[in-house]
Chains A and B, each alone.
Chain A
Amino acid sequence: MIDFSYTVLILLIPLVVFVVVGLFGNRFKPIVSGLVGTTGLFIGWVLSIFTAYNYFFVSGKGAEGAFVKVLAFSMRWLNLTDKLHIDMGVLLDPISVMMLIVITTVSFMVHLYSIGYMAGEKGFSRFFATLSLFSFSMLGLVVATNIFQMYIFWELVGVSSYLLIGFYYTKDSAVAASKKAFIVTRFADLGFLIGILMLSYATGTFDFIKLTAPDSPALTSGQGVWFLGLSTMTWSMIFIFMGGAGKSAMFPLHIWLPDAMEGPTPVSALIHAATMVVAGVYLVARLFPIYHMNAVALDVVMYVGAFSSIFAAVVACTQYDIKRVLAYSTMSQIGMMMFALGVSGYGGEEGLGFMASMFHLFTHAFFKALLFLGAGAIIHAVHSNVMQDMGGLRKHMPITHATFLIACLAIAGIPPLSGFFSKDEILAAGHMKSMFLFIVELTVSGLTAFYMFRLYYNIFWGKNTHYHHTPHEAPLTMTLPLMILALGALFAGLVPFASLVTSDGMPFETHIELGVAIPAVLAGLIGITIATLMYRKETNVPERIFNTLGGFSKAAFNKFYIDEVYLFITKKILFNYVSRPVAWFDRHIVDGAMNGMAYVTNEASDRVKKLQSGQVQQYALVFVSGALLLALLFIYLWTN
């Protein structure tokens, strides 16, 4: 067994970079901060690849040929009692090693890209410091050895996401978006915390290895107290999923994600596309053995995932802000991953859905980060987010165009690009479970292809917009990451995932099932064809279709009024019927008691202070008479 303890460096380097750049970044030229951050992540990236190589090909497999969980590093961090302690450490297993690769790759690319994208911005060092903080937190989250460590880092990624969304803190919309993201995910994390407490109360441990081992109390012991027809374990799993749904922008907690696009585009690529938003998927995957024992909780995951994917896909077809289209697309793809987890079984080939979900997470990270970085390059060139301001850009930005097209084809699931393989596995897993949901996901595939190519044609083809200054291709620091990620989007699908990342560590064989693959590819092609017909040349077809669908398309354009529903609930109901009474109680009862005490003290001292007249002789008189009285008293006592 190889010593994996060096993996702790992957975490520590970004932390050190964060502290150094955060404290001293302003003393150097901005470019130094950028280079320090990028170098740190580059080292982390190399180390991750080295770790993955060692884990998967040298020493990861246990005696039975399955990949085992390796505790690479562990320390007792908070010692509450002998039995109750919170550890910090590094846990390596197939999914965490896979996530290390994803995070460090995308983060490194984004750092490199940001040197070009953020050049000349105010707060360049602050940006890189926060980016490093995020990388550290996200890495800590995936290697967490216990659910409490995961929760701590879970909140840390929330904070760094908040800081980065609100990077342009002088812009009101960015500030509002960052607060919205923080509050919505924080609300979801409340569920996560309740789930953690219930789970650890029922099982007596935080540790992932203990929790998911075959003889774990979470799997073998009774299901605990029943409430509303569900057991404690099921409830705790549902609550934990609530936290995951908040972070992963699942319906109905998705409202923060589209607004989060107010942040700088590299941030959207890193946090709101490739890494942080898949934390929810990762969480469910991490606790998958327990979910598998609680069918109801797993069904919740499945239905929420499926509904979110179709919901977001429909909304994405109607949006005009290119980053919002991508945001809804992210939500839709994550919905598919959740769906795949929800339909999955446990162990060997049963765990096809689990494998598919992780596979899609892996490939999605590449092509979605690529799409966002491409969108960033476009916004950089055009200075606008809206697709009406674009068109005909393919002549001006050849590299961005080519890489963007690759990413679109990949996400549409056209073979042999990466998205095809992972999506095919998801559909195959869905097919085994339920025909209805299979058709839903097939529709999502078609819609995905449609809206991605709607985006593509609107940006690069369509009308020949007249630009104020001719758009130019982005600098090399921006196009280089695009090209590297494009390689990932092209070839990531060829990774033999089924033999590396599986639900129980046992490798198995997969094959492309034609019965699933052909409809999937057809759905993609149909989507692309329709988009080509509608948007290749500027026509009035889209407008006519939009008008024919009337109310439905209007509702979709307004994101089905979910934001308005939230506003109604919070402003009209919560504020009026909960917050106001509480505020009244606070102002009158709590503050009143405190003010009353202060008033009484004040009055009493006002009366008493007259005694202190400042007249020495008065004091002396009191003193002498006191002494005399005492003397008399003692004499009296003495003589009796």
Chain B
Amino acid sequence: MFEGVPLTWFLITGTIMFFVGIYGFLVRKNLITMLMSIELILNSVNINFVAFNKILYPGHLEGMFFTIFIIAVAAAEASVAIAIIINIYRRLVNIDVEKMNEMKY
């Protein structure tokens, strides 16, 4: 199914996703959006894993497993992060990341 699609394309897709994620994480002030940016970063990594596994070691499945792990961990992470965000919202009625500086020095 991927026959004929060169590795570079996958890598380019992954890199674009990664930097979109980084950009979103650094620029957006909304916590939910920042969380979504992190998911983008994670998924760019997943693409890399799958692509390398497919092209370099066609007979092996380690890359696939890793991807599944990362998806599972990302799900857990998302649920925890959303729980935190909900608590922050209850407390501050706001989810702007710049307001969350109570713990500084």
Contacts and interface: CB of A to CB of B under 8 A. Distances in A.
Interface of A: 609-610, 612-617, 620-621, 624
A610 to B, nearest CB: 8
Nearest to A621: B26
A614 B104 contact: yes
Interface string B1-32: 00000000000000000000010011100000
Contact of B100 (A609, A612, A614, A621): A614
Interface residues of B, number: 12
A613 B22 contact: no
Nearest to A610: B105
Interface of chain A, helix or strand or loop or mixed? helix
Contact of B101 (A610, A613, A620): A613
B10 to A, nearest CB: 20
Contact of B104 (A612, A617, A621, A624): A612
Contact of B26 (A609, A612, A613, A617): A617
A614 B102 CA distance: 7
Contacts of A624: 22, 26
Minimum-distance CB pairs A-B, first 9? A614-B104, A614-B101, A609-B105, A612-B105, A617-B26, A621-B26, A612-B104, A613-B104, A616-B97
Interface centre among A613, A615, A617 (most CB of B within 10 A): A617
A615 B25 contact: no
A622 to B, nearest CB: 11
A610 B100 CA distance: 16
Nearest to B104: A614
A48 to B, nearest CB: 71
Contacts of B97: 615-617
Nearest to A612: B105
A356 B31 CA distance: 99
Interface in B74-105: 97-98, 100-105
B61 to A, nearest CB: 30
24 contacts: A609-B105, A610-B105, A612-B104, A612-B105, A613-B104, A614-B100, A614-B101, A614-B102, A614-B103, A614-B104, A614-B105, A615-B98, A615-B101, A616-B97, A616-B100, A617-B25, A617-B26, A617-B27, A617-B97, A617-B98, A620-B26, A621-B26, A624-B22, A624-B26
A40 to B, nearest CB: 63
Contacts of B22: 624
A612 B102 CA distance: 11
Given A613-B101, A614-B100, A614-B101, 11 more contacts: A612-B104, A612-B105, A614-B104, A614-B105, A615-B98, A616-B97, A617-B25, A617-B26, A620-B25, A620-B26, A624-B22
Contacts of B25: 617, 620
Contacts of B103: 614
A635 to B, nearest CB: 14
Contacts of B27: 617
Interface of B: 22, 25-27, 97-98, 100-105
A617 B101 CA distance: 11
Contacts of A617: 25-27, 97-98
A217 to B, nearest CB: 68
Most chain-B Cβ atoms within 10 A of its Cβ — which of A615, A616, A624?
Answer: A616
Nearest to B28: A617
Contacts of B98: 615, 617
Contacts of B104: 612-614
A351 B102 CA distance: 88
Contacts of A612: 104-105
Contacts of A616: 97, 100
B53 to A, nearest CB: 23
Contacts of B26: 617, 620-621, 624
Nearest to B22: A624
Most buried by B among A614, A620, A624: A614
A620 to B, nearest CB: 6
A612 to B, nearest CB: 5
Contacts of A610: 105
A274 B97 CA distance: 83
Most central of B97, B102, B103, B104 by chain A CB within 10 Å = B104
A620 B98 CA distance: 13
Contacts of A609: 105
A624 to B, nearest CB: 6
A190 to B, nearest CB: 52
A610 B104 CA distance: 9
Nearest to B98: A615
A613 B27 CA distance: 17
A616 B98 CA distance: 8
A266 to B, nearest CB: 64
Nearest to A628: B22
Contacts of A615: 97-98, 101
B27 to A, nearest CB: 8
Nearest to A608: B105
A610 B105 CA distance: 8
Contacts of B102: 614
Contacts of B101: 613-615
A615 B102 CA distance: 10
B59 to A, nearest CB: 30
Contacts of B100: 614, 616
A621 B97 CA distance: 14
A199 to B, nearest CB: 62
Nearest to B102: A614
A54 B72 CA distance: 90
A613 B97 CA distance: 12
B32 to A, nearest CB: 14
